[in-house]
Amino acid sequence: MDFINYLTVDQRIAVLTTLATFTISVISVVIAVRSLKVTKRSIDEANRPYVVASVMGNVGYRTEKLLMIKNYGNTGATIESIKFSEDITEEELLIEFLNSLSGVFIAPGQSFMFTLNKPREYENITLVGEMVVIYKDFKNKFTEKCKLNSKIINTNLQISSDSLSEFENKLLNTLHNNNRQK
């Protein structure tokens, strides 16, 4: 540090200015690299697939409970497997349906549905538990754990339309309820 004593004031100011400029430049590069990493992560998360399972009700001629596997993301995905975290159903058709989705590509916004209503029976397939969906895009693998409870869907819904008379609405609901019990 003796060399500083031999420097003139102008030279000292030049050295300090150079050191300050170098320090600020290094800090700026570090901030820029971190900002680029955060931006890349945000873009990746915004553009990745989000494949989830849910139970929903569909009101129409007959109220249906549906298991829906849907891609809510902005890119497609290939489903690797869909399994229950525990044995919550023994329904062979449902298990067959889920197994048939392995290796299937699901586009953004696309969904696969399985009706939980048994044909011509009053009882429905009940799903209460967790479903694990494993899928991948072109470079990453994802796992979604989805909680399902088909008991919360009410199949005793009443249908009403403003374009129908009161009598027609009652008739429609009677037909709907009779069909549900067949």
Residues 14-66: tens digit of each pLDDT? 989 999 999 999 999 999 999 999 999 999 888 999 999 988 877 665 667 88
The answer on 55 and 126 residing in a single domain is: yes
Token couple for 60: 């129409």
pLDDT at 91 over 70: yes
Query: From the centroid of its chain, how far is CA 36?
Result: 26
Residue that wins the pLDDT comparison between 122 and 21: 21
Q: Where would I find the beta strands (DSSP E) of 7-162?
A: 51-58, 64-71, 77-84, 105-106, 111-115, 128-136, 141-149
Residue that wins the pLDDT comparison between 21 and 147: 21
Domain total for the chain?
2
The answer on 125 and 74 residing in a single domain is: yes
CA distance 98 to 83: 7
The answer on 40 and 116 residing in a single domain is: no
The answer on 169 and 156 residing in a single domain is: yes
Q: What does the pLDDT read at residue 150?
A: 77
Where would I find the H helices in 48-103?
92-100
Range of the domain at 82: 49-181
The answer on 89 and 23 residing in a single domain is: no
Dihedral over alpha carbons 145, 110, 56, 44 (to 10 degrees) = 40
Q: What does the pLDDT read at residue 61?
A: 57
Three-class DSSP category at 64: strand
Of the candidate ranges 13-27, 62-76, 103-117, 162-176, the one whose mean pLDDT is the lowest: 162-176
| Residue type for position 153 | I
Most confident of 5-19, 59-73, 83-97: 5-19
The answer on 96 and 6 residing in a single domain is: no
Q: What does the pLDDT read at residue 173?
A: 61
CA distance 67 to 63: 13
